Structure 1
Amino acid sequence: MGALDRILLGLFALAVAFLSVLMGAQVLGQDWLYDMYTHYPLEFLAAAAVLFLVALRFVFIRTGASKEPLAIVHKTEHGDVRISVQTLESLAERAARLVRGVSDLKTKVRPSEVGVRVAIRISVDPDLDIPQITSSVQQKVKDYVESTSGVNVQNIVVYVNDLSKSQAGKISARSRVE
């Protein structure tokens, strides 16, 4: 629940508490609530509409399905096995680091209908073949994640963000010397 939702929840709770006091006063015979309602019907209607919309928001936040499951579930004969998305991201990162020339990487794993989808952002050494490196990253990540976790890897997208900073500096210095 975000900060705005927490603020709305606090205000909603105060409004409901205030309304319960007003309703109790009406039940005990206080006619001033009826007088307020008859003199300000539009204001009461607007307040009721706002409270109703806020209540609906909290119902849907609580009962709505999450956008992304936190774990992949395997059903086995002995029960369920849950592997967190974070664990799968760590496995993908470990496999990608095994490829020579890859550095500064970040992984993101998203569950899909038939397994997971993996997105990896990497930096590569500038003197290496980028298509060959990205192909190696895809193959290593697929093999490692599937063999280690048993989760099907549907596809792997590799984004080459940048060239490795340490290697880029060495090449420019070397080319000046030559």
Structure 2
Amino acid sequence: MGIIDRIILSIYTLLLIVLALGVIMLSLRLVSLEIIWTSLSYIYGQWEAGLAGLVFLLISLRLFFAGIRPKNRRDTIVHHTEMGNVHISVSAVENLVEKVTRIIRGVRDAKISVVHDEQTGLKISIRASVSPESNVPAVTSEIQQRVKEYIKNTVGIDAVEISIIVENISNDFKPKQRVK
């Protein structure tokens, strides 16, 4: 459940608490029944009340389906071998791709995003900053080739799509992270 759904759920829960307190007060005769009937007679025929009811219905349905819907995104990649299954986390693949891109000459910085889907396979998106003295098509081609080979040799799966976006061509030097 996302952050927006959690905020909506919190507000919705508070409104249900108020409604529950109202029912408790009615059942204990702390509130007069005439007050409730007067309030309900005011709502009768008001389109704004119907709109508010529709909003609450839609919020209820959204929260209901958000609670029962399974997550589509898999956090692991399953590699089938003769001896059994190997689960590799998507963040591990992102770290491998980052390691490969940072050692390529001409790459200043790289941000990696990896998405794995059962039907489409592995998709890698790289947002890179390159140095101005490098040949951008050659650098991007080398990134794609090295990433594909490294993922195939290390993880044992083929990357279906490797897309590269050159965000910046810059002289700004950011020190490369060392792998310990």
- Interval of TM-score (by shorter of Structure 1 and Structure 2): 0.7 to 0.9
Number of residue-to-residue matches in the alignment: 166
- Return the structure number with greater helix share: 1
Q: 1:15 to 1:142 in 2, by over 3 A?
A: same
Q: 1:120 to 1:35 in 2, by over 3 A?
A: same
- 1:37–1:44 Cα contact (<8 Å) kept: no
Residues 45-124 of structure 1: matches in 2 within 5 Å? 45-66=50-71, 68-75=73-80, 80-112=85-117, 113-124=119-130
- 1:122–1:158 Cα contact (<8 Å) kept: yes
Query: Does 2:135 align with 1:132?
Result: no
Superposition deviation, residue 155 in structure 1:
1.6
Superposition deviation, residue 144 in structure 1:
0.8
Measured in 2, the distance between the counterparts of 1:161 and 1:63 equals 39
Alignment correspondent of 1:158: 164
Alignment correspondent of 1:11: 11
Q: 1:124 to 1:146 in 2, by over 3 A?
A: same
Measured in 2, the distance between the counterparts of 1:78 and 1:25 equals 64
Query: Does 2:21 align with 1:36?
Result: no
Superposition deviation, residue 153 in structure 1:
0.3
- Unmatched tracts of structure 1, length 5 or more: 168-178
Superposition deviation, residue 110 in structure 1:
1.7
- Unmatched tracts of structure 2, length 5 or more: 174-180
TM-score, normalised to structure 2, is 0.73
Superposition deviation, residue 14 in structure 1:
2.2
Measured in 1, the distance between the counterparts of 2:84 and 2:24 equals 52
Tell me which moved more, 140-149 or 52-61: 52-61
- 2:128–2:167 Cα contact (<8 Å) kept: yes
Measured in 2, the distance between the counterparts of 1:127 and 1:14 equals 59
Q: 1:77 to 1:15 in 2, by over 3 A?
A: farther
Alignment correspondent of 2:178: none
Superposition deviation, residue 58 in structure 1:
1.0
